[in-house]
Amino acid sequence: MSTLDLPYQVEPHPLTGVTSGKLGIWLFLASEVMLFGSLFSSYVLLRVGSPPEFWPLGIEAGLSVPIGTFNTLVLIGSSVTMVMSWASLKMGNLGAFRRYFGATIGLGGVFLLVKAFEYSTKFSHGIFPAVGWPELTDPSMFYGLYFTFTGLHALHVLLGILVNLWLLIWGAAMWETAPERFAGRIEIAGLYWHFVDLVWIFLFPVLYLL
């Protein structure tokens, strides 16, 4: 083993039972859980402690449930293609991996395009984080949380797309020299992507339906 290699990149560590990379991503995701958990906790405290007229249903605040539902299905589909891309590598099929992984990236792009359309529609109607829907008693509170939640989540989706693009275009060269290590990297990227999808599955009903 060269001095540039890190141990336990392919074989699990005897103490943790997972590879070093997988342990690292789980620790990172734990910090992400604390980040989004604090935001959800703030939302609950603000909503419980505020008069009912401050917290309308999403459709009453101008949110589109069909658009939110479509984006939810898009992200669920991207999780399926992510799993299929990793499974393709485990079966030694690089071509299928490229197709499924490319579909994952494409679906992530569709999600961001739809979200950009939602934002542009609200901006065109004068709805901003500090302004919001004019019919609300305190419009800034609801939309301040909406833009904070969805903006932070969209940033995570964008970062995931950029990392996946690197893995697809340049990172795939590792398949020729270290296929198991490359498959491990895709699994780690998949864990992050599934987490981002899971966050949206919680965000959608909280903001659009409840």
Report how far residue 135's alpha carbon sits from residue 62's, in angstroms, rounded to the nearest whole number. 10
Report how far residue 120's alpha carbon sits from residue 89's, in angstroms, rounded to the nearest whole number. 39
Over residues 87-113, mean pLDDT: 95
User: Predicted confidence band at 2 (pLDDT cuts at 50, 70, 90)?
Assistant: very low
Q: What pLDDT does residue 3 have?
A: 47
pLDDT at 12 over 70: no
Nearest to 67 by CA among 109, 103, 116: 116
Give me the residue label for tokens 């399926």: 80
Nearest to 99 by CA among 116, 114, 84, 111: 84
Torsions phi, psi of 103, nearest 5? -65, -40
C-alpha dist (Å) from residue 64 to 94, 159, 166: 39, 25, 33
pLDDT at 59 over 50: yes
pLDDT at 6 over 80: no
pLDDT at 97 over 70: yes
Q: What pLDDT does residue 30 have?
A: 95
Over residues 160-173, mean pLDDT: 93
Q: How many CA atoms lie within 13 A of 204 on its CB side?
A: 21
Query: ∠157-148-209 over CA atoms, to 5°?
Result: 85
Length of the chain measured in residues: 210
**pTM (predicted TM-score):** 0.87
CATH number of 20-49+65-209: 1.20.120.80
**Mean pLDDT, all residues of the chain:** 85
Greater confidence (9 vs 43) lies with: 43
Q: What pLDDT does residue 1 have?
A: 44
Over residues 5-10, mean pLDDT: 65
Ranges of each domain in the chain = 20-49+65-209
Q: What is the pLDDT of residues 63-82, one digit of tens each?
A: 889 999 999 999 999 999 99
Q: What is the pLDDT of residues 118-164, one digit of tens each?
A: 999 888 877 777 655 555 545 567 788 889 999 999 999 999 999 99
Q: What pLDDT does residue 125 have?
A: 74
Greater confidence (135 vs 9) lies with: 9
Greater confidence (33 vs 179) lies with: 33
